């Protein structure tokens, strides 16, 4: 998907083919464990962020719409939305995220048409993520 969007961006902006996608983005990888009943927010999302839930549960309110996330699923957070996070009441919640900061105008990229930000992770992605992090 990133390569497709990158190609669309290149076509719209006349970017030469030898310029790298990495010259347009900055990525941050991190993670955190929240104790039972933990919360975070409100905040306005400043980047694109893929939040991967490993253990516990998480409900993310995006512009006041709740999204319930279970272990093995991810939520895609997009620029400019107000977010509140509520974590499992009875157990610790462990999640990691990949934040992508665009060094270009985000309006130049096409938006996904999917209504739901929730995505299940494949076994392969889970194994690779656990192996390297």
pLDDT of residue 106: 54
Assigned token pair, 29: 């990888």
4 lies in some domain: no
Assigned token pair, 97: 């995220």
Residue 5 has pLDDT above 90, yes or no: no
Q: How many domains does the chain have?
A: 1
C-alpha to C-alpha distance for 117 and 108, rounded to whole angstroms: 20
- Mean predicted lDDT score pLDDT of the chain: 74
Assigned token pair, 45: 């999302």
101 lies in some domain: yes
Is the whole-model pTM more than 0.75?
Answer: no
pLDDT digit string (tens) for 51-108? 999 999 999 999 999 999 999 888 889 889 999 999 999 999 999 999 888 776 655 5
Of 28, 110, 46, the C-alpha closest to 82 is 46
Q: How far is CA 19 from CA 3, 10, 14, 121, in A?
A: 13, 9, 11, 31
Residue 19 has pLDDT above 70, yes or no: no
Assigned token pair, 85: 């996070």
End-to-end CA distance of the chain: 23
Of 67, 66, 54, 43, the C-alpha closest to 133 is 54
pLDDT of residue 24: 67
Domain that holds residue 83: 24-132
Residue 111 belongs to domain with CATH number: 2.60.120.10
110 lies in some domain: yes
12 lies in some domain: no
Please give the residue that has the higher pLDDT: either 89 or 14. 89
């Amino acid at each position: 998907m990133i390569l497709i969007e990158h190609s669309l961006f290149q076509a719209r902006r006349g970017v030469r083919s030898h310029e790298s996608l990495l010259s347009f983005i900055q990525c941050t990888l991190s993670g955190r464990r929240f104790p039972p009943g933990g919360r975070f927010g409100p905040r306005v999302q400043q980047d694109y962020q893929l939040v991967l839930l490993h253990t516990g549960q998480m409900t993310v309110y995006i512009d006041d719409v709740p999204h319930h996330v279970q272990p093995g699923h991810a939520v895609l957070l997009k620029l400019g939305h107000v977010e509140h996070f509520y974590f499992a009441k009875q157990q610790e919640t462990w999640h990691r995220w990949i934040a992508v900061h665009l060094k270009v105008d985000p309006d130049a990229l096409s938006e996904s048409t999917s209504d739901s930000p929730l995505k299940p992770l494949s076994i392969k992605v889970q194994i690779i993520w656990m192996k390297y992090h």
